[in-house]
Structure 1
């Protein structure tokens, strides 16, 4: 049995959020000590992990809670064997290396994925699925959240290096790319920034958790002609809408686009919806820039 702080650490769900899920959705029902302190068992930890994984993949909290409560999340998200059945060997190599905190193995797994072909050939069908496999393995309890962070950080460093190697931009006009306030899941958006830079676009990459007001400042001072907001999770939809509204209200002649797994939920406003696949999204925006 685990205290609430121990449950939070093992599940990767903050204490305040854990309490909210418990109160609002009943996703866990802890027992109590004689003094009234909550105690959580391993099954509760597994449910919290499953709900977090679903939300991170774009589900709403209510949808995730229902899936966890009914057990319908098991086959699609937290089944330990699901990944081995359908995933690529490179996906599993990264998970295995992460599970043993093998930093050399992590780097080798990333190298092997990138060696399969050009960046455009491997990012959507190789590297990003391997990152998703890390999240699935964590949700299944096969790796700790620290191992997931270790491998994800290695992928992020590699993408940052590829961004720097993207070459000198061929276009004078810049594009601002980043994530809305509160969003720190940046690998997909950074991967898009790399793909766009490889097309000769001058990308001003703002990174995660960029305040609403800062977007308009960056676009104006950076002489940008477009801004792309990453929306990886349902939780990022509201903040993304605020960024879109702020850019529209800034009075700048600016192409505003949104992309990512949850971008389709940002339905209001003037933003263009980009394809989910990184290479398709970069091609679509480059085409718009060429004709604008």
Structure 2
């Protein structure tokens, strides 16, 4: 996709954000727009505050200054009832899945449903949880299992199932492929893209995985120097001369990701018939 595809509504609008911890300033005058319907990758070096930015947007981190609008509403200065209504419209997959270890997968999926819709009967809760489990590629028998009985990849999918429990419009993914082997990471990327297209999601994706950026992201936002220094397609970013951007995308891993993406694109192209090839 091209950047022009997403010239419309900003579903998230961050302006002048400042976050600090004691004397350490993580963000200063940070601006960012996330367009409806896109998968936006968020990258940056260690300590640039990628997760802090996400936590500021979803209300888990109170910034020192700046504004955050989500769905057109001020997410930093609203009463609790308004905040609840906004939270119903997004889902979050934290690093590692962040599952409750004493709850089964199905019970984990039901947590947000019970929080926001406490009058739902158990039969409906069980039905919704079973559907979300299968939707994220887990086997049906994963529902009664506990997190300790799952592989790393299955935990990520269980966390994703919980993040989709409320049928959100907006999905936050924090390093979803971290710790997965290349096959598992690629499968999770494909799942994310499929769900985004099927459900019409907007995805805010924090990642360091170059393969993910090339495979599924429409645009990429780069955090450095305490702010977002650039947002665009990978091709647009590569045209910039910022040293971190060049080192990140043109280093050995970047070149490997390009080769992988080109190979996948070639494999996806329809093959000609014998007649087409002059047989």
TM-score using structure 2 length: 0.29
Q: Which has the higher strand share?
A: 2
Q: Which has the higher helix share?
A: 1
| Higher-RCO chain (CA-CA 8 Å, sequence separation at least 6) | 2
TM-score using structure 1 length: 0.28
